[in-house]
């Protein structure tokens, strides 16, 4: 018997590809298999606890009775603290009317899409990237996918965007990028900004402007010589056209605390506030009060970043070094040197090779083999909109235990050795 029909959105919405993969992994674990689950962009709180002061301030806020509705655009003290945090660490001057608080980054991205994109309007986004395909579907926008290339560390370029920019409503970018852990080079991002400004200056006053959604949720997590660049610092005219998405979830291993913020043009932030108000996507009052007190403790925040980033960097570098060692021994793998975030981009290219006489004819078959034989679970780039035959994967190190890295690499080597 067929299921009853619902809305077109409900009937056509595709579930999260990563959640689907997670279901397969959980089933294996429930049957007693040891799986190294490096698929989830989250943290093992036993390895990466939130800052002690933040945890204490959350408890204090509940004890003090902060359990009611917050202000729709975010508690004033938190917006002031966010403005101070961004000014100190990023050099951008913000009025609190340009800041919106929500329950993490997702409702802010959703609100930005809803506030900007009308049905049938073009949304330009790179692949691989996280969830832009789903948000475009929510708004019934026209998907304009830019296939970013390995030679540019999977970041899109102005030359790729230029042919599609006429009439577009939104460009959605992320740097550092989920899933790759790579960042924009200064000139590449500046070229995109100048392209947006040129397009907007050529539009009639009555026309809708082209906006940039700039997700920088991982921007505090850069390693080595990597530098984070943002559109408004590079090109001040972009302040009229850029809405940022940011928050505490990745910067402080606080994915479950659910405090995010957007900042951008005042009129756009006001409309996003109205949308979020109807959805009820507020960050909890107690958590807002706690984050307001925590963010301005510069020395404590600095000390946390030093230890936190060191631990992430260790995992990224050691897994990267392991993949490169395998590559140098002739195995069909590769990796991109880690730059930022909690992600490592790796390649396993076994299509056309065989295990026990059975040829891997598709990349999903390779993914399944690595999961079954090496017990290593990674997210294929195809889950982020890349072609189905892409041999690139995302490894997330937020749940990696340092002592297991050697075992993982040994199991991977053994699995690769059995392929002919």
> With contact defined as beta carbons under 8 Å apart, do 284 and 127 qualify?
no
**Tokens 């921007």, residue?**
219
* Per-residue CA distances from 136 to 103, 114, 117, 144, 245 (Å): 20, 9, 8, 10, 17
| Distance, CA of 158 to CA of 234 (rounded, Å) | 15
Is 367 a domain residue? yes
* Per-residue CA distances from 172 to 126, 194, 384 (Å): 8, 15, 14
Nearest residue to 17 via CA among 149, 138, 130, 139: 130
3-state DSSP assignment of residue 320: helix
Is 395 a domain residue? yes
In three-state form (DSSP H/G/I as H, E/B as E, the rest C), the secondary structure along 201-251 is HHCCCCCCCCEEEEECCCCCCECCCCCCCCHHHHCHHHHHCEEEEEECCCC
pTM score: 0.95
Give the tens place of pLDDT for each residue, 256-296: 999 999 999 999 999 999 999 999 999 999 999 999 999 99
Residue 266 shares a structural domain with residue 149 = yes
What is the pLDDT, as a whole number, of residue 16? 67
Residue 34 shares a structural domain with residue 98 = no
What is the pLDDT, as a whole number, of residue 165? 97
Q: Is the pLDDT reported for residue 34 higher than 90?
A: no
Tell me what the mean pLDDT of segment 184-194 comes to.
98
* Per-residue CA distances from 194 to 189, 215, 236, 259 (Å): 9, 18, 11, 32
Is 59 a domain residue? no
| Distance, CA of 243 to CA of 226 (rounded, Å) | 23
**Tokens 């994967």, residue?**
393
> With contact defined as beta carbons under 8 Å apart, do 125 and 145 qualify?
yes
Give the tens place of pLDDT for each residue, 343-385: 999 999 999 998 888 889 999 999 999 999 999 999 999 999 9
What is the pLDDT, as a whole number, of residue 1? 64
Domain boundary among 266, 296, 326: 296
Residue 75 shares a structural domain with residue 156 = yes
Query: How many CA atoms are closer than 13 Å to the CA of 284, on its beta-carbon side?
Result: 13
Is 255 a domain residue? yes
Residue 373 shares a structural domain with residue 279 = no
Residue 229 shares a structural domain with residue 86 = yes
Q: Is the pLDDT reported for residue 23 higher than 80?
A: no
Is 57 a domain residue? no
Residue 155 shares a structural domain with residue 252 = yes
Within 10 angstroms of residue 182's Cβ, the number of other Cβ atoms is 23
What is the pLDDT, as a whole number, of residue 420? 85
Residue 283 shares a structural domain with residue 326 = no
CATH number of the domain bearing residue 197: 3.40.640.10
Q: Which residues pair with 396 in a beta bridge?
A: 343
Is 374 a domain residue? yes
What is the pLDDT, as a whole number, of residue 357? 85
What's the residue count for the chain?
420
**Distant-in-sequence, close-in-space partners of 301: CB < 8 Å, separation ≥ 6:** 51, 294, 295
Give the tens place of pLDDT for each residue, 92-119: 999 999 999 999 999 999 999 999 999 9
> Which class for 128: exposed (0-12), middle (13-18), buried (19 or more C-beta within 10 A)?
buried
Q: What is the dihedral sign for C-alpha 403, 396, 101, 265?
A: positive
What is the pLDDT, as a whole number, of residue 381? 95
Domain boundary among 296, 313, 332: 296
Residue 87 shares a structural domain with residue 36 = no
> With contact defined as beta carbons under 8 Å apart, do 396 and 21 qualify?
no
| Distance, CA of 126 to CA of 161 (rounded, Å) | 9
Q: Give the structural domain span for 205.
A: 68-296
Q: Is the pLDDT reported for residue 406 higher than 90?
A: yes
CATH number of the domain bearing residue 321: 3.90.1150.10
- Indicate left, alpha or beta for 72 from its phi (over 0: left) and psi (-120 to 50: alpha): alpha
Residue 110 shares a structural domain with residue 134 = yes
What is the pLDDT, as a whole number, of residue 31? 83
Residue 224 shares a structural domain with residue 336 = no
Residue 209 shares a structural domain with residue 322 = no
Give the tens place of pLDDT for each residue, 192-203: 999 999 999 999
Res. 27 pLDDT band, cuts 50 70 90: confident
Give the tens place of pLDDT for each residue, 205-249: 889 999 999 999 999 999 999 999 999 999 999 999 999 999 999
Domain count, the chain: 2
Is 215 a domain residue? yes
Domain boundary among 296, 313, 342: 296
Give the tens place of pLDDT for each residue, 132-179: 999 999 999 999 999 999 999 999 999 999 999 999 999 999 999 999
Residue 363 shares a structural domain with residue 215 = no
> With contact defined as beta carbons under 8 Å apart, do 142 and 121 qualify?
yes
Q: Which residue has the higher pLDDT, 59 or 7?
A: 59
Is 18 a domain residue? yes
Give the tens place of pLDDT for each residue, 294-347: 999 999 999 999 999 999 999 999 999 999 999 999 999 999 999 999 999 999
Helix axis angle, 76-90 relative to 285-295, nearest 10°?
Answer: 40
């Amino acid at each position: 018997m067929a299921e009853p029909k619902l809305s077109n959105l409900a009937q056509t919405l595709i579930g999260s590809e990563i959640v689907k993969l997670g279901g397969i992994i959980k089933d294996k674990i429930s049957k007693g298999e040891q799986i190294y689950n490096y698929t989830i962009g989250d943290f093992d709180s036993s390895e990466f606890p939130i800052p002690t002061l933040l945890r204490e301030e959350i408890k204090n806020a509940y004890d003090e009775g902060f359990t009611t509705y917050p202000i729709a655009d975010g508690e004033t003290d938190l917006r002031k603290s966010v403005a101070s945090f961004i000014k100190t660490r990023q050099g951008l001057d913000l009025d609190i009317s340009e800041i919106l608080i929500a329950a993490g980054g997702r409702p802010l991205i959703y609100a930005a899409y809803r506030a900007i994109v009308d049905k049938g309007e073009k949304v330009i986004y790179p692949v691989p990237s996280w969830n832009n395909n789903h948000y475009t579907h929510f708004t019934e926008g026209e998907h304009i996918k830019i296939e970013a290339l390995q030679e540019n560390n999977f970041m899109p370029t102005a030359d790729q965007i230029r042919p599609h920019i006429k009439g577009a409503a939104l460009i959605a970018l992320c740097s550092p990028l989920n899933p790759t852990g790579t960042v924009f080079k200064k000139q590449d991002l500046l070229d995109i900004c100048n392209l947006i400004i040129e397009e907007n200056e050529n539009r009639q006053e009555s026309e809708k402007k082209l906006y940039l959604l700039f997700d920088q949720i991982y921007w505090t997590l850069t390693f080595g010589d990597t530098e984070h660049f943002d559109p408004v610092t590079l090109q001040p005219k972009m302040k009229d056209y850029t809405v940022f998405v940011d928050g505490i979830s990745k910067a402080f291993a606080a994915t479950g605390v659910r405090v995010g913020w957007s900042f951008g043009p005042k009129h756009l932030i006001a409309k996003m506030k109205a949308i979020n108000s109807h959805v009820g996507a507020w960050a909890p009052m107690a958590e807002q009060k706690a984050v307001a007190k925590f963010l301005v403790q510069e020395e404590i925040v600095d000390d946390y970043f030093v230890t936190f980033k060191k631990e992430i960097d260790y995992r990224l570098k050691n897994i990267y070094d392991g993949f490169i060692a395998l590559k140098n021994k002739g195995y069909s793998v590769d990796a991109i040197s880690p730059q930022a975030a909690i992600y490592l981009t790796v390649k396993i290219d076994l299509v056309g090779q065989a295990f026990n006489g059975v040829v891997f004819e598709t990349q999903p078959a390779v993914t399944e083999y690595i999961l079954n034989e090496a017990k290593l679970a990674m997210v294929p780039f195809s889950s982020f909109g890349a072609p189905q035959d892409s041999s690139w994967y995302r490894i997330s190190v937020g749940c990696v235990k340092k002592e297991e890295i050697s075992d993982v690499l040994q199991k991977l080597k053994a699995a690769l050795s059995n392929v002919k």
